[in-house]
Amino acid sequence: MGMTNETTDPTAHGIDELCRQATQLARTAPAPLRSVRVQAGELLVALEWPENPAAAAPPAAGVVTAAAPAEPAEAPPPDGTFAITAPLVGTFYRAPSPGAPPFVEVGQDVAAGQQVAIVEAMKLMNPVEADRPGRVVEVSVTDGTAVEYGEVLFVLAPPEAAAP
């Protein structure tokens, strides 16, 4: 927004510019606005829309669930932890074979690409690997139980967070 420099009255003109931007945005909006904020100190344009009309409905309305975004919207937890999810439908195994020690335990560090579990489907043993390094803070599924695609198997903390 270098334009603001081109005026003798930066603030007012800045506001003018901000509002013009805001109006633009409002017109090209995906849905009706819920709120608009325009600030000149530190220059800010903030438009807010309801995620969608239904989501804005009172909880009583089952449409809330109905209208939840189709794609999973699992926001990453603030503490930087991340999940390892099931790559397919199947049975979750923590160990390479019955009685054998599990691939990983809580508190253990894992490297990217390290196998952490097996998901068995139709007699096929599918290895589950960590896609990045981290420390296991939770094993989310009991050994030997059925898991759906995308189900959380482990929660890991980033290595740095794991450092004392």
Residues that bind a second copy (CB under 8 A): 9-19, 21-58, 61, 63
Q: Output the smallest distance, CB 92 to other proteins, in A.
A: 11
Q: Output the smallest distance, CB 8 to other proteins, in A.
A: 42
Residue 125's binding partner out of a second copy, other proteins, none, with CB under 5 to 8 Å set by partner kind: none
- Cβ closest to a second copy, residue 54 vs residue 137: 54
- Cβ closest to other proteins, residue 92 vs residue 110: 92
Q: Output the smallest distance, CB 99 to a second copy, in A.
A: 53
Classify strands 35-39 and 44-48 as parallel, antiparallel or unpaired: antiparallel
Residue 45's binding partner out of other proteins, a second copy, none, with CB under 5 to 8 Å set by partner kind: a second copy
DSSP state of 5: G
Q: How far is Cα 75 from Cα 111, in angstroms, rounded to an integer?
A: 23
- Cβ closest to other proteins, residue 36 vs residue 63: 63
Q: Which two tokens stand for residue 138?
A: 């939770």
- Identify whether the C-beta of residue 112 lies closer than 8 Å to the C-beta of residue 118: no
- Identify whether the C-beta of residue 90 lies closer than 8 Å to the C-beta of residue 126: yes
Contacts of 30 (CB under 8 A, 6+ apart): 49
- Cβ closest to a second copy, residue 59 vs residue 72: 59
Q: Output the smallest distance, CB 115 to a second copy, in A.
A: 46
SS3 of residue 82 by DSSP: strand
Amino acid at 141: V
